[in-house]
Amino acid sequence: EQDPLPPELKINSDPQERKAFSVEVARSPEIQEIRLGLPIVAEEQKIMEAIYNHRVVVIWGATGSGKTTQVPQFLYEAGFGNPSSPNPGMIGITQPRRVAAVSMANRVCDELNSAKEKIAYQIRFDSSVSSKTAIKFMTDGILIREIANDFALLKYSVIIIDEAHERSANTDILIGMVSRIVDLRASMSKEDAQIKPLKLVIMSATLRISDFLENPNLFRSGAPPMVQVEGRQYPVTIHFARKTQRDYVDEAFHKVCRGHKKLPPGGMLVFLTGQNEITTLVKRLKEAFSNTEASQTAGHKVRLTASDAPLETEDLELGIGDSRYDDVGEVDEEEDDIFVEDDQEFDLEDPAPASSKIRVLPLYSQLQTKDQLRVFEPPPENTRLIVLATNVAETSLTIPGIRYVFDTGRGKERKYDRLTGVQSFEVGWISKASASQRAGRAGRTGPGHCYRLYSSAVYERDFEEHAEPEILRMPVEGVVLQLKSMDLQHVVNFPFPTPPDRRSLAQAEKLLSYLGALSPEGKITDVGRELSNYPLSPRFSKMLTIGHQHDCMPYTVALVAALATPSIFIPENQLDLSAPPKPEIYTTADRLADESRTKLKSAYNHAHHLYSRHSSTSDALKLLTALCAYAHAPSKPTFCEQMFLHPKALAEATLLRSQLSSLIHNNNPSLLPNPHQLDLPSPSKTQISALQQFTAAAFIDQIAIHHSLHPNPPDLPRTPKRAIDVPYLPLFPINQTRTSTPDLTEIAVFIHPSSILAHTPIKDLPTYIVYSHLQRAAPSTISTNESETKTPKTRMHALTAVTGKQILGL
C-alpha cells in the first residue's frame, strides 16, 4: 500500500534518473571514505523510503553511527531545502546543546564541501542563517520560540529532533508540538497546494523513547515506524574500582596519570561534572607532566581558573618521564585497585613509548566555541589526546580516536522537589543508561576500556536505570505560559511524551495568576501575552512589564539580563586561594606564592565591595552594578580579569540586555527612548528601592520572613552565631508542605553563604528576604556509604532584602 519512491529519492538509481531537484554534492574522497564506514550510510534507502511514506519516522542508532551528520545530508541530496524541489522548505535539526548545534553544522558543511551559506546554525545570540540556508542546526529552545511566531513552521519541510533519548524538557515539548504541526500541515496542504506537508524525524541513541511511541494522544495515526541502524561498536572492557573515592577529581587525576604511563596509545576521555572540576584537572595534569621551568613555577603561581583564562585553552604538549611523574608512579604501587581487577589490560601489546606526550583539552558548555572544536583536531604524532568533558561528550559529540574512558559516575543534574519546590543543580550519580553510553565512547575506533571510578556495589545500589525526563524535574510555569499563549486552554491535554504531574501544572498556573498572566478561569490575559513575548522565564518578564516605574526601565532591563544569566561572578572557591601543604623548606618561591595569594584575596574582596556600593543587602543590585560597570569598562578582558567576572557570561548578559532593550523599544519607544545606552548614571535611592520592589513582585511566592518576626515564631534549639545560621520561614508557600507538624529544620530556610547577606551582622539582618531558588545539600556531598544521611539545611539563593512596604508595592 506504500507509494513507490520517486526517482529523486532513489539513492542508487542512475544519476540521470535522479531528477533535477536532487542536489549534487562534491564530497572529497577522504570524506567519502569516512562516510562509507558509517553504519547509517547503508540504511540511506530505507530511511528515505520511511520518510517518504510516513509523516513521522524514528531513527534509532548508537552514538557515532552517523545520525546527526548524515541524515540531514540524505535529505539535502534528495532535494529537501532546495527551493525548486517539491520540498522547498529548510531542513531543521534541533539539539539540546549549543555546542552540538554549532559543531555539527560545521562538520556537515565540511563534509558537503558546499557553499557555506547552505548550512547554518542558530543558537541564542548567534546565528549564521541566511535566505540561502537549506540545512539549519539549532537548539531546541530556538525552535520552540519560532513556533510561537510561526505556528505551522512554514519555513521548513522537515524537522529532525535529535538526541531525543536525553529527554530534555524542550525536546519533549517539541515532540508534542511538532507531532501536531505535522497533522496541521497535512490538512493545510490538502486545501492549498502551495503549502507542502511537513515531515518529522525523531532520532535517538537509545530505546529510551519507545515508551511514548505508542501514545495515541501523541501520534494520532499510530506508532511511527522505527528504522534501526546497526551499531559498529567494538567491545569495551569495563573496569570497576574496588573502592569509591569521595574526591573523584583527585581520583581521576591519579588514574589518568597511571593510565597514560601504562596504556598503549589511544585517546582518553574523562567524564566530570562541570567547568570547575575540569579546569582544576587540566591544571594538575599540566603540572604533573611537565619538567619545564615555566610550568614548575606554574604550580605556585596564583591564577584564575576562569573559563577564558589562557591556561586551559592552551594545549599542552608536554613530555613525560620527569621527576613529578615518578611521584605519580609511586602512588600506583600503593593503591592500584582500578587496574588489578583486570591485570590483563597491562599486557596489552605495545605500551606507550616513553617519549609520548599529552594534549589536554577541556570540553564544557561555557567554553568558547572555537576552543570546544579543538577536540576534533587530530593530535600531533606521538601525542596522546586527553579530553576532560562534561556530559556533552556522552552522546552529542563523538571525539575521534578515544580508546579509554574514565567515568567518575557523577553528573550535574537539575533537581526539583515537587513537594517543596526546592530546586537545585546538583552533582549526583548518573543513570546506568548514561554509564553505558559513556563506556561506549571507548569502542568507536577499536576495542576499548572504560575505567569506572566507582565500585560495582555502588553502581548496583545507587544508579537508577534511566534519568527522569527533565520536565519532571523543573518548575513548569514557563512551559504552561508558552502553551497558554498558543491558546491551549487545558494544558493537561497537551501531548507531553511524559506529562508533568497535575500538581506541578496546577502550581504553575497559580504562580502565573499571581503574576497576573492568567485570569481566574485560567485564560491567558493581556499581561500574560506580554510576558510570553520575552525570551525569559515568566518571573523575569514580569519585572520588565512593571519596570518602567520611577524611570527605571534601563535599570530594570540590565537587572533582568544580569539575573537571567548564570555565573557572572567567579566564586571564591574557583580561585586558587588555598595554600598547598606547608613544605619542609620554606623557599622564596613559597613566600612569594603566599603573598600573591593574600593579594589576590584582598583584590577579590575589594572587587566585591565595589559591586555592593548601591546596597549591602541585595545580591540582585550587586549583579546590576557588575553588569553596568562592565559596560563602562574600556577593556572588557582586563576588567573581567581584575574584577573576577566570567567574560563569556558577561558578554551574554550584555547581548541579552541589548536584545531586551530593542524588544521593548520597538514595542513602545516611549518606555525606553534610548535602547542603546548601556552606560547608565547611578540609580537614585528611589530607583534602588523600586528595583527591589520589582524583584519582590516577580518572586512574590519566594519571600522568607525572619523567624523572630514570624506570626508564630518557632522555638530555636540554640542561638545562631552566624548570619547563615539564622532561620527564616517562607512567607507565602505556594507549595503544600508536609501535613504533620514539621520540625524547624524541615521548614526553615537559611541564607546561602555566597549571598551578600551572609556577611551581615546578625542584629542587622532584614525582616524579609526574596530568593531566586532554594537549594538543599552542598553540591560535593554525595554519600558513598549508607552511614551518612544527615538532613542538610535548605539554603536560599538570596536576591534582595525587602521591606513589608516593598512587598505590598507601596
| Contacted by 283, from ligand ADP, Mg ion, none: CB < 5 to 8 Å by type | none
Residue 398 engages ligand ADP in binding (rule: CB under 6 A): yes
| 144 within 8 A of 128, measured Cβ to Cβ | no
State the binding string over 95-134 for ligand ADP (x if CB under 6 A, else -): --------x---x---------------------------
Single-letter amino acid, residue 438: R
DSSP string, 85-101: SS--SEEEEEESSHHHH
DSSP alpha helices (H): ranges in 150-243? Answer: 169-191, 210-213
> Of all residues in this chain, which one has the CB nearest to Mg ion in the complex?
68
Name, in order, each residue with C-beta under 8 angstroms of 713's C-beta and a sequence gap of 6 or more. 707
**For residue 375, which of 397, 356, 396, 390 has the smallest C-alpha distance?**
397
Least separation, in Å, of the C-beta of 468 and ligand ADP? 23
Q: Which is nearer to ligand ADP, 68 or 654 (CB)?
A: 68
Residue 94 engages ligand ADP in binding (rule: CB under 6 A): no
Residue 437 engages ligand ADP in binding (rule: CB under 6 A): no
CB burial of residue 203 (10 Å; 0-12, 13-18, 19+): buried
| Contacted by 64, from Mg ion, ligand ADP, none: CB < 5 to 8 Å by type | ligand ADP
Query: Cell numbers 535529535 correspond to what residue?
Result: 162
Name, in order, each residue with C-beta under 8 angstroms of 358's C-beta and a sequence gap of 6 or more. 260, 285, 289, 316, 317, 318, 320, 383, 384, 385, 386
| 777 within 8 A of 710, measured Cβ to Cβ | no
Least separation, in Å, of the C-beta of 538 and ligand ADP? 34
Applying the rule CB under 6 A, the residues between 742 and 771 that interact with ligand ADP are: none
CA distance 417 to 474: 8
Dihedral of the CA atoms 773, 779, 784, 788 (nearest 10)? Answer: -60
Q: Which is nearer to ligand ADP, 37 or 681 (CB)?
A: 37
CA distance 120 to 105: 6
By CB under 5 A, which span of 66-74, 372-380, 612-620, 774-782 interacts with Mg ion?
66-74
By CB under 6 A, which span of 62-70, 311-319, 350-358, 735-743 interacts with ligand ADP?
62-70
Single-letter amino acid, residue 752: H
Least separation, in Å, of the C-beta of 387 and ligand ADP? 13
Judged by CB under 6 A, the residue of 18, 54, 55, 67 near ligand ADP is 67
Q: Which is nearer to ligand ADP, 338 or 386 (CB)?
A: 386
| Contacted by 66, from Mg ion, ligand ADP, none: CB < 5 to 8 Å by type | ligand ADP
E strand map for 602-701: none
Residue 65 engages Mg ion in binding (rule: CB under 5 A): no
Q: Which is nearer to ligand ADP, 128 or 245 (CB)?
A: 128
Residues recorded for the chain: 810
Residue 63 engages ligand ADP in binding (rule: CB under 6 A): yes
Residue 401 engages ligand ADP in binding (rule: CB under 6 A): no
Least separation, in Å, of the C-beta of 719 and ligand ADP? 58
Least separation, in Å, of the C-beta of 163 and Mg ion? 6
Judged by CB under 6 A, the residue of 22, 43, 51, 68 near ligand ADP is 68
| 426 within 8 A of 779, measured Cβ to Cβ | yes
Q: Which is nearer to ligand ADP, 103 or 455 (CB)?
A: 103
CA distance 109 to 119: 6
CB burial of residue 417 (10 Å; 0-12, 13-18, 19+): middle
Judged by CB under 6 A, the residue of 48, 57, 65, 280 near ligand ADP is 65
424 forms bridges with which residues in the sheet? 415
**For residue 65, which of 209, 201, 227, 233 has the smallest C-alpha distance?**
233
| Contacted by 61, from ligand ADP, Mg ion, none: CB < 5 to 8 Å by type | ligand ADP
By CB under 6 A, which span of 65-73, 303-311, 666-674, 793-801 interacts with ligand ADP?
65-73
CA distance 790 to 295: 42
| Contacted by 400, from Mg ion, ligand ADP, none: CB < 5 to 8 Å by type | ligand ADP
Least separation, in Å, of the C-beta of 113 and ligand ADP? 14
Least separation, in Å, of the C-beta of 162 and Mg ion? 6
Judged by CB under 6 A, the residue of 376, 425, 514, 604 near ligand ADP is 376
CA distance 470 to 412: 12
Residue 287: DSSP 8-state: H
Q: Which is nearer to Mg ion, 99 or 360 (CB)?
A: 99
Single-letter amino acid, residue 686: T
Q: Which is nearer to ligand ADP, 99 or 553 (CB)?
A: 99
Q: Which is nearer to ligand ADP, 206 or 279 (CB)?
A: 206
Judged by CB under 6 A, the residue of 22, 69, 420, 482 near ligand ADP is 69
| 92 within 8 A of 159, measured Cβ to Cβ | yes
Least separation, in Å, of the C-beta of 444 and ligand ADP? 6
| 327 within 8 A of 363, measured Cβ to Cβ | no
Residue 516 engages ligand ADP in binding (rule: CB under 6 A): no
Q: Which is nearer to ligand ADP, 60 or 253 (CB)?
A: 60
By CB under 5 A, which span of 63-71, 312-320, 457-465, 567-575 interacts with Mg ion?
63-71
Judged by CB under 5 A, the residue of 22, 68, 504, 692 near Mg ion is 68
By CB under 5 A, which span of 59-67, 151-159, 487-495, 635-643 interacts with Mg ion?
59-67
* Element (DSSP H or E) covering residue 246: none
CA distance 540 to 559: 9
Residue 61 engages ligand ADP in binding (rule: CB under 6 A): yes
E strand map for 417-535: 423-429, 448-452
Cell output for 526: 493581556
Least separation, in Å, of the C-beta of 767 and ligand ADP? 54
**For residue 224, which of 47, 63, 71 has the smallest C-alpha distance?**
47
| 287 within 8 A of 299, measured Cβ to Cβ | yes
Judged by CB under 6 A, the residue of 38, 102, 161, 386 near ligand ADP is 38
Residue 267 engages ligand ADP in binding (rule: CB under 6 A): no
Least separation, in Å, of the C-beta of 49 and ligand ADP? 20
By CB under 5 A, which span of 65-73, 89-97, 109-117, 490-498 interacts with Mg ion?
65-73
Residue 565 engages Mg ion in binding (rule: CB under 5 A): no
Burial 692-709 (b: 16+ CB within 10 A, else e): bbbbbbbbbbbbbbbbee
CA distance 288 to 320: 8
Q: Which is nearer to Mg ion, 68 or 760 (CB)?
A: 68
By CB under 6 A, which span of 67-75, 191-199, 407-415, 641-649 interacts with ligand ADP?
67-75
Residue 604 engages ligand ADP in binding (rule: CB under 6 A): no
Q: β-strand 56-61 against 226-229: which pairing, if any?
A: parallel
| 723 within 8 A of 758, measured Cβ to Cβ | yes
Question: Alpha-carbon Rg of the chain, whole angstroms?
Answer: 28
End-to-end CA distance of the chain, in Å?
70
Q: How many CB atoms lie within 10 A of CB 292?
A: 11
Task: Tell me the CA distances in angstroms from 376 to 242, 371, 373, one per residue in order.
Answer: 33, 10, 6
| Contacted by 208, from Mg ion, ligand ADP, none: CB < 5 to 8 Å by type | none
Residue 239: DSSP 8-state: E
Least separation, in Å, of the C-beta of 474 and ligand ADP? 26
Residues lying near Mg ion in the complex (CB under 5 A): 67-68
Residues lying near ligand ADP in the complex (CB under 6 A): 38, 61, 63-70, 103, 107, 376, 398, 400, 444
